[in-house]
Structure 1
Amino acid sequence: MFECADFFPVSLSGDTGLDNSAFGPNVKHVLKVSLDLTRYEYYNIGSYFPEARDKYVVGKGFVDGWNGLRFDYGNFYASKTFFDPSKNRRILWGWTNESDTAKDDVQKGWAGLQAIPRKVWLDPSGKQLLQWPIEEIETLRGQNVQLSNQELKSGEHIEVKGITAAQADVDITFSIPNLDKAEPFDPSWTNAQDLCGLKGSTVQGGVGSFGLLTLASEKLEEYTPVFFRVFTGLYKHVVLLCSDSGSSSLRKEGLYKPSFAGFVDVDLDDTYKISLRTLVHTCPSNNFCFF
């Protein structure tokens, strides 16, 4: 069943948002549906012709089905966008369900939450959308803690001290000295989420896993890893981003503790660098990649 359909214009140039009434040669349109069967948000990009009885033509190369583009590759559903005329931007807002049991939800008085709002715009290639947390989120930042030039050895953990672990806005850049040891990528690995379960944060790879252990207890009995793995593909390196809540709680039953993952569209061969922004809070975290 399709839910929470959305249809909105995006500019072919720049990151400025457009009012819902915009159309023309310098505008593309996005059609999004929330699919109840998978609980994911699928979208495509195309052209809208209001003069031709509201005809919408999907752009060339976009996949119609479960392998199509998604707004988010984590715990995110039932989203809607709106145009913010005060800052000429389009904002995306979606829902995230909680991991507690129904009994826990009744006791605390709430279940689920709205995820961090994001600004959304068209990638210069025209092949996908880009997103970033709205700038107002930065007003919530407190004390700044900075670590520089840290060498991370295999199996090593570096604790970031001086922050509140249950609420943090983390920007981190990883420099990869060598990609020669990256594992070969099996073309049959088409499902990123399954691959994340197979190649978890504790599984040693050629390049990875590396990333963050968020919401970690002192002795690491509980933690939620957010991590990358790099593989050698046929034409370029393949980058997998995972968030795995399997170790997030010592409670064994009644909790929703899935793993989420996606393949990141990036070419590491030029910079050998990959960056991650993670908004950590006591509910599900939000992760954004940039290069």
Structure 2
Amino acid sequence: MSTASKFYSVLTSTLFCYLAVITFIGTAINGVEASHRIYPQFQSLSVDIVDQIHRTAYHFQPPKHWINDPNAPMYYNGVYHLFYQYNPKGAVWGNIVWAHSVSTDLINWIPLKPAIVPSEPFDIKGCWSGSATVLPNNIPIILYTGLDSNETQLQNYAVPANISDPHLENWIKPANNPLVAPDHTVNRTAFRDPTTAWLGSDGWWRMLVGSKNKRRGIAHLYKSKDFMNWVKAKHPIHSRPDTGMWECPDFFPVPKSGENGLDVGITGRDVRHVLKVSLDLTRYEYYTIGRYYPEIDRYIPYDTLVDGWAGLRPDYGNFYASKSFFDPKTNRRILWGWANESDSRQDDVDKGWAGIQTIPRKVWLDPSGKQLRLWPVEEVEKLRKDPVLMENTAVELGQHVEVTGVTAAQCDVEVSFTIPSLEKAEPFDPEWVNAQDLCAPMGAKKQGGVGPFGLLTLASEDLEEATPVFFRVFKADTKYVVLMCSDASSSSLKEGLYKPSFAGFVNVDIEAEKRISLRSLIDHSVVESFGAGGKTCITSRVYPTKAVDGEAHLFVFNNGTEAVHVEKLSAWSMNRPLRMNN
């Protein structure tokens, strides 16, 4: 009997023994904070009226209430599934269940009932994040973190109650849970978010679980022959000091060349691996690229990359708890990420909702091998309508050229800038290692040499409100340095908002190319921007008071003494999906 057949037999036997009707009940999570501040007075406030002013039109979100981490995205038998952390009773974190939606195109989503809720001793105090694995005989299985009555974090599994149901609406939690409990060497309150498992050529399944030891971030490795009995490897697959808790680890292969994705178990000479972690201490993510050595169960990042807080990020803005999956339909690796609100908790309660998922992004390795590229999935382009074109337009110092004919609060814009000369680029100080430290003092309103130039998104007509997304070019000793910013500091006249200036450096040879591109997906309270074809991505959450709906405007601007040219700008108003969890 083959390994796959043996495994199928064991799993089928287990399901037969434990098949049961699960009664879905809601259980409030009290006293367990993890990464979220707890507001008991708001957790279960019913929402009668949902404020629509800043709700997105084409981003993923439920009709009301709080959402956070995307969980277990997968493509199964012609259907995309997205599970996510959801509070069915209020607009702040609490009462968390695994909500579940399905789609055939990644744009239109049908809501189903929650797939996993706290109900058993191994998850009675919480059903937290996890991943999906599709097994060799085409059986999907969810691995997730549950909290028991002692608030110990356990790794559990759930399976479909009816594998022939095209939507996999009902899930059961077999009684042999948990699959993995922390031993005495593991921090039992920092042990969560299992990855998609992969089957090695040696017949062992492997998965990672995020953890920490004091300030050392850890990705523990677990192995199993039958997916039911797991043992901890002698050492983590990777760890790093001074990074804190590693939440939502993601470990996947990418081919050295091309834009296709790979299933999680692929290895070989022409394959590189990516380890992404979400940093509980900083509330952003970073990733490394390196080699995975299954014979010694080690992942070793390239020493030319920063492995720590200053490392590469999939997104330099409001983006967290991301989770990727391999899409066998299109041979893509697709990444989902959560964009939390930047207003106050009282604002969230008042408006009746909080949190969105960013547009899913295709992920591949840049030809340089030094970083990933991320780009919105092509399906989102089906929502485009009423195209607007601007070409061969010079933008001088202090100019703001409006892009008319587009719904500026709900649009998609792509622009390619050419730079005739770099002679006026400002000097770059080598001590400037953190791009975000530069964005605020050198914002869109501060005159420069080459830049700042870019887009003024969600702008009021008088420019009192705007979220500039822009580039600025500096001259270092041996090369030019390109800074990209998404600056929310002037996004709203409302007080009490978190309005950060997010930034990242863009790895381009601007001297040779003399051009750079920018794409922004603008959707009422979110601006997702992609610089240089997805080399640097920044997401901002904003809440304008004047630049709302039909009063929002879109401008191309330049505040550098060197003129720049709009080689080509294409913009589209965006339709709403026919179904968004309604």
TM-score by length of structure 2 reads 0.49
How many Å apart are 1:271 and its aligned residue?
2.5
Partners of 2:411 and 2:522 within 8 A in 1: yes
Once residues 359 and 467 of structure 2 are traced to their aligned partners in structure 1, the CA distance between those partners, rounded to angstroms, is 18
How many Å apart are 1:226 and its aligned residue?
0.6
How many Å apart are 1:233 and its aligned residue?
1.1
Counterpart in the other structure of 1:107: 350
Unaligned 5+ segments in structure 2 are 1-244, 534-582
SS of the residue 1:270 aligns to: helix
Q: Does 1:31 align with 2:275?
A: yes
Match of 1:277 among 519, 539, 546: 519
Q: Does 1:207 align with 2:450?
A: yes
State the identity %: 64
Counterpart in the other structure of 1:170: 413
SS of the residue 2:393 aligns to: coil
Partners of 1:48 and 1:57 within 8 A in 2: yes
Q: Does 1:264 align with 2:264?
A: no
Mapping of 1:1-291 within 5 angstroms?
1-52=245-296, 54-252=297-495, 254-290=496-532
How many Å apart are 1:50 and its aligned residue?
2.1
Once residues 186 and 46 of structure 1 are traced to their aligned partners in structure 2, the CA distance between those partners, rounded to angstroms, is 30
After superposition, what is the alpha-carbon deviation per residue over 1:40-82, rounded to whole angstroms, capped at 9, x for unaligned? 1111112122232x22222231222222111111111110110
Once residues 300 and 445 of structure 2 are traced to their aligned partners in structure 1, the CA distance between those partners, rounded to angstroms, is 45
Structure 1 segments of 4+ aligned residues over 6 angstroms from their partners: none
Partners of 1:82 and 1:92 within 8 A in 2: yes
How many Å apart are 1:108 and its aligned residue?
2.0
| Matched letter for residue 270 of structure 1 | A
How many Å apart are 1:125 and its aligned residue?
2.0
SS of the residue 1:145 aligns to: strand
| Matched letter for residue 271 of structure 1 | E
TM-score by length of structure 1 reads 0.96
After superposition, what is the alpha-carbon deviation per residue over 1:157-190, rounded to whole angstroms, capped at 9, x for unaligned? 0011111111111111111121101111011111
Q: Which has the larger radius of gyration?
A: 2
Once residues 232 and 62 of structure 1 are traced to their aligned partners in structure 2, the CA distance between those partners, rounded to angstroms, is 22
Once residues 215 and 136 of structure 1 are traced to their aligned partners in structure 2, the CA distance between those partners, rounded to angstroms, is 24
Once residues 343 and 482 of structure 2 are traced to their aligned partners in structure 1, the CA distance between those partners, rounded to angstroms, is 31
Once residues 37 and 89 of structure 1 are traced to their aligned partners in structure 2, the CA distance between those partners, rounded to angstroms, is 31
After superposition, what is the alpha-carbon deviation per residue over 1:184-207, rounded to whole angstroms, capped at 9, x for unaligned? 101111111010011011000111
| Matched letter for residue 261 of structure 2 | G
Once residues 31 and 40 of structure 1 are traced to their aligned partners in structure 2, the CA distance between those partners, rounded to angstroms, is 14
Between 39-48 and 162-171, the greater mean CA deviation after superposition: 39-48
SS of the residue 2:439 aligns to: helix
Q: What RMSD in Å do the two structures reach over aligned CA positions? A: 1.1
Partners of 2:301 and 2:307 within 8 A in 1: no
Between 259-268 and 108-117, the greater mean CA deviation after superposition: 108-117
Once residues 308 and 376 of structure 2 are traced to their aligned partners in structure 1, the CA distance between those partners, rounded to angstroms, is 27
Once residues 60 and 188 of structure 1 are traced to their aligned partners in structure 2, the CA distance between those partners, rounded to angstroms, is 21
SS of the residue 1:121 aligns to: strand
How many Å apart are 1:223 and its aligned residue?
0.8
| Matched letter for residue 269 of structure 1 | E
How many Å apart are 1:128 and its aligned residue?
1.0
The alignment of Structure 1 onto Structure 2 pairs a total of residues equal to 289
Between 43-52 and 129-138, the greater mean CA deviation after superposition: 43-52
Once residues 185 and 60 of structure 1 are traced to their aligned partners in structure 2, the CA distance between those partners, rounded to angstroms, is 25
After superposition, what is the alpha-carbon deviation per residue over 1:129-148, rounded to whole angstroms, capped at 9, x for unaligned? 11111000100101100111
Once residues 492 and 292 of structure 2 are traced to their aligned partners in structure 1, the CA distance between those partners, rounded to angstroms, is 47
How many Å apart are 1:99 and its aligned residue?
2.0
Partners of 2:322 and 2:336 within 8 A in 1: yes
Partners of 1:98 and 1:284 within 8 A in 2: no
Unaligned 5+ segments in structure 1 are none
| Matched letter for residue 93 of structure 1 | W
The alpha-carbon distance between structure 1 residues 271 and 126, as it changes in their structure 2 partners (threshold 3 A), is closer
